[in-house]
């Protein structure tokens, strides 16, 4: 099992343990990853033991806000429309959702979760365009026909788990080049969520000097990363205080960022869990999401505009 497959498998097991998936559905999704019933049951048990034995992390300095749980998701009220786009990638045609901004301040590559290019991710590209940052949300399943070619999100997730990291990196770099073509003369940032947050860390570790800013949301760290070849990127990373599994990798990236002497800030949102920014999911936390959205705007104003 590759590191990405293990990450996705543990996420499925954790979703079941948190009551978000039935056992039958969790086993079905694990089987799509090639994990048999006995191994799947053992994984669920192991994840349960980890949850019970791991103390919750201490939340860092994210302030309290008064955002209502019924408020509109942050940035949605100003979101601009997206259009489907295609461009030539390193292994064939790539697909994505493009949101243009009338007076660009910078450009943003949006990297989706392990569900593929969903309407939620398209909306995030539109939200960035709405605050002056034209955005391209790339579909990392382009070589497989695109996210829409799959019967359901579980099948899309299984297909993503089979893609090797070098292929992801090549496609993401092509996305950055497409942004530079569409918004010439402007700085570029990468923002990723869940698996996409992990891919932001991998972009930095692979050496991506074109990035002026990087914002991974609850992204797992690669093994022993070296960010030295991406030292110009200013990194703002987000974690949820209840997300024990991903938070366990935070010291790894913190050490690598400090070693590379990079501008960085790592934020742990109190009372928030994994995927707290996804307003279509069960773990959405509007207070944490609003705080993160304000912080991203301030970060881009300082390092991207």
Burial (0-12, 13-18, 19+ Cβ within 10 Å), 75: buried
Judged by DSSP in three states, 111 sits in strand
Q: What pLDDT score was predicted for residue 64? A: 39
Phi/psi zone of residue 184: left (φ > 0), alpha (ψ -120 to 50 degrees), beta? beta
pTM: 0.93
Report residue 97: phi and psi, to 5°. -120, 125
Query: What is the torsional sign of CA 5, 13, 119, 72?
Result: negative
Q: What pLDDT score was predicted for residue 156? A: 98
Maximum separation of any 2 CA atoms in the chain, in Å: 56
Residue range 281-294, pLDDT digits in tens = 999 999 999 999 99
End-to-end CA distance of the chain: 41
- Is residue 102 within 8 A of residue 129, CB to CB? The reply is no
Q: What pLDDT score was predicted for residue 49? A: 82
Residue 141 C-alpha from the chain's centroid: 15
For the record, the structure tokens of 90 come out as 């390193």
Q: What pLDDT score was predicted for residue 58? A: 39
* Residue 260 CB coordination number (10 Å): 18
79-107 average pLDDT score: 97
- Is residue 231 within 8 A of residue 262, CB to CB? The reply is yes
* Residue 176 CB coordination number (10 Å): 20
Reduced 3-state DSSP string for 36-103 = CHHHHHHHHHHHHHHHHHCCCCCCCCCCCCCCCCCCCCCCHHHCCCCEEEEEEECCEEEEEEEECCCC
- Report the mean per-residue pLDDT for the chain: 93
Q: Is CATH 2.115.10.20 correct for 76-304?
A: no
For the record, the structure tokens of 238 come out as 């987000």
The tokens 């949301």 sit on which residue?
A: 217
142-147 average pLDDT score: 98
To which H or E segment does residue 217 belong? strand 211-217
Residue range 40-78, pLDDT digits in tens = 999 999 998 877 765 444 334 444 333 344 579 999 999
Report residue 278: phi and psi, to 5°. -80, 100
Sorted by sequence, the CB contacts under 8 Å of residue 182 that are 6+ apart come out as 98, 100, 107, 134, 136
| Bridge partner list, 268 | 239
Comparing 52 with 203, the larger pLDDT belongs to: 203
- Is residue 278 within 8 A of residue 121, CB to CB? The reply is no
- Banded pLDDT at 160 (limits 50, 70, 90): very high
253-260 average pLDDT score: 98
- Is residue 225 within 8 A of residue 252, CB to CB? The reply is yes
Query: Please, how many CA atoms are within 13 Å of residue 156, restricted to the half-sphere of its CB?
Result: 21
d(CA 274, CA 278): 9
Query: Please, how many CA atoms are within 13 Å of residue 193, restricted to the half-sphere of its CB?
Result: 26
Residue 284 C-alpha from the chain's centroid: 14
């Amino acid at each position: 099992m590759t590191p990405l497959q293990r990450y996705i498998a543990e996420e499925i097991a954790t979703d079941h343990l948190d009551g978000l998936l039935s056992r039958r559905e969790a086993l079905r999704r694990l089987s799509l990853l090639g994990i048999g019933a006995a191994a799947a049951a053992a994984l669920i048990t192991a994840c349960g033991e980890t949850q019970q034995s791991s103390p919750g992390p201490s939340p860092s300095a994210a302030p309290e806000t008064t955002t209502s749980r019924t408020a509109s998701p942050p940035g949605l009220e100003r979101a601009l429309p997206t259009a489907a786009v295609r461009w030539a990638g390193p292994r064939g045609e790539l697909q994505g959702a493009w949101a243009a901004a009338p007076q660009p301040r910078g450009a943003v590559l949006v990297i989706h979760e392990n569900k593929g290019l969903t309407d939620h991710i398209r909306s995030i590209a539109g939200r960035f365009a709405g605050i002056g940052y034209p955005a391209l949300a790339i579909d990392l399943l382009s070589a497989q026909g695109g996210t829409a070619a799959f019967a359901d999100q579980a099948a899309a997730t299984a297909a993503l788990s089979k893609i090797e990291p070098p292929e992801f990196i090549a496609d993401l770099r092509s996305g950055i080049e497409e942004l530079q073509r569409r918004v010439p003369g402007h700085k570029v940032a990468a923002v990723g969520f869940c698996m996409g947050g992990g891919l932001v860390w991998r972009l930095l570790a692979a050496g991506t000097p074109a990035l002026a800013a990087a914002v991974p949301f609850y992204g797992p760290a690669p093994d022993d990363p070296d960010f030295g070849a991406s030292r110009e990127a200013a990194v703002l990373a987000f974690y949820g205080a209840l997300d024990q599994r991903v938070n366990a990798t935070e010291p790894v990236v913190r050490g690598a960022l400090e070693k590379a002497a990079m501008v960085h800030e790592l934020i742990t949102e109190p009372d928030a869990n994994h995927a707290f920014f996804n307003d279509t999911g069960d773990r959405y936390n509007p207070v944490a999401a609003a705080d993160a959205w304000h912080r991203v705007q301030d970060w881009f104003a300082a390092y991207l505009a």
